[in-house]
Amino acid sequence: MAAEDVGIITDNMVEADLRGIDSHGAGMVPQYDRQRHQGAINVTPKIEVVRDLGAIALIDADHGLGHVPATRAMQLACDKAEKLGVGAVAVRNSNHYGAAGVYSEMAATRGLIGIATTGTSQRSVVPTFAKEPRFSTNPIAFAAPAKRNPPFSLDMATSTIAVGKLNVARRAGKEIPIGWAMDETGMPTTDPTAALDAVPKRLSPLGGSRELGSHKGYGLAVMVDILSSVLSGSFIGSYNLKTGEQEQYINVGHFSLALDPAAFRGEDGAFEDEMDDLINMLHATEPADEGQTVLVAGDPEHAERKWRVKNGIPMTDTLVREVRQVAAACGAHFTLESDEAA
């Protein structure tokens, strides 16, 4: 890949790992390598803006990895928001782009509200009342800046869990909670390997069941695909809606939105001040358990990032071994060491 693209991709992957989102950082290297060998990823894409109309734009990713076009999309949305108050940019013909929260926080670092959504590369989530999956984890990320506090930063899958969480559990040799996923027969399982081996994979929408509100997660997932996939002209879970078939390229779509609070409140920082008031009010809420304070979205990631910047990013021996195999296969110099290797 081009050196400039490599820098953006690795920065975004490391940022995901620093936040503790282990399923979307270095853990994706084996999957990206498999897709490269399958011809599903263009390693030398020509990424270009194909439509630019005032506050909106459309980017064609030319089937490269999603990190680069998604970064350009959010930065372009922010540029437009700073001029017009709002910017919305969609991306088509893309691939997996890592953690959605990395992109929404790009806006927050510029004093803007950021929203990032993305389509996905597989069918793995079952609609409420259905037996077969029709879409995947379809994440939503939302970030808003404050002054004295870290930004409010929501980054959530619209499924009960992400597929990557199954891999994290598999590598760690841990069971998964009942209700996360189903096995090959469609029955709930606590075995992450059985869930990963199911063809197709079967995860539940956020909520787990109709009684616990899975229809809400289902609705949010479709909303994400409307913004990310239908709006940009991309596939749904790697399937062409017109033909119902898969093709060589996965054609993932992304959506980025940036809003300038100053366009609504003026230039005096009133929005950021009240964001601090809101966050402080929530933090001050009396907890049900004295050992667990009330958190707001982003608190665990901010705390984990602070710890990992100081102490390093932990990796399981299984992941180190998988990344070493990728490096060996393509002749890349490998520098990671693990307790297993020692």
Query: Where does the chain have alpha helices with state H?
Result: 3-18, 29-38, 67-84, 100-108, 163-172, 192-197, 214-225, 261-265, 270-283, 299-311, 317-330
Asked whether residue 342 carries a pLDDT value surpassing 90, the answer given is no
Taking residues 62-88, what's their average pLDDT?
A: 98
**Highest mean pLDDT, choosing among 22-31, 108-117, 201-210:** 108-117
CA distances (Å), 239 to each of 37, 54, 123, 144, 292, in order? 20, 31, 8, 33, 43
Q: What is the pLDDT of residue 157?
A: 93
Q: Which residue has the higher pLDDT, 208 or 119?
A: 119
Q: What is the pLDDT of residue 341?
A: 45
**Length, in residues, of the chain:** 342
Q: What is the pLDDT of residue 139?
A: 96
Cβ proximity of 105 and 151 under 8 Å: yes
Residue 252 DSSP one-character state: E
CA 23 – CA 275 distance, rounded (Å): 30
| 205 strand-pairing partners | 159
Question: Closest Cα to residue 119, out of 281, 283, 277, 241?
Answer: 241
Give the N- to C-terminal CA distance of the chain in Å, as an integer.
31
Percent of the chain with pLDDT strictly greater than 90:
80
Q: What is the pLDDT of residue 339?
A: 55
Q: What is the pLDDT of residue 182?
A: 85
- 3-160+204-311 — its CATH code? 3.30.1370.60
Q: Which residue has the higher pLDDT, 292 or 131?
A: 292
Question: Closest Cα to residue 82, out of 74, 72, 93, 92?
Answer: 74
pLDDT, the chain, mean: 93
Domain boundaries along the sequence of the chain = 3-160+204-311
Q: What is the pLDDT of residue 268?
A: 81
- What is the residue type of 35? Q
CA 215 – CA 117 distance, rounded (Å): 19
CA 274 – CA 147 distance, rounded (Å): 9
Asked whether residue 340 carries a pLDDT value surpassing 70, the answer given is no
Residue 199 pLDDT level (bands cut at 50, 70, 90): confident
Asked whether residue 162 carries a pLDDT value surpassing 90, the answer given is no
Do you find a cis peptide bond into 188, omega within 30 degrees of 0?
Answer: no
Q: What is the pLDDT of residue 228?
A: 98
Taking residues 13-17, what's their average pLDDT?
A: 96
pTM of the model: 0.90
CA 222 – CA 117 distance, rounded (Å): 11
CA 16 – CA 191 distance, rounded (Å): 25
In the block, tokens 């709006």 appear at 231
Q: How many CA atoms lie within 13 A of 313 on its CB side?
A: 19
Q: What is the pLDDT of residue 335?
A: 86
Q: What is the pLDDT of residue 83?
A: 97
Taking residues 249-265, what's their average pLDDT?
A: 97
Q: What is the pLDDT of residue 163?
A: 77
CA 164 – CA 321 distance, rounded (Å): 17
pLDDT tens-digit readout, 259-316: 999 999 987 899 999 999 999 999 999 999 999 999 999 999 999 999 999 999 999 8
Tokens standing for 271? Answer: 């929005």
Q: What is the pLDDT of residue 313?
A: 94
pLDDT-wise least confident of 48-52, 84-88, 200-204, 229-233: 200-204
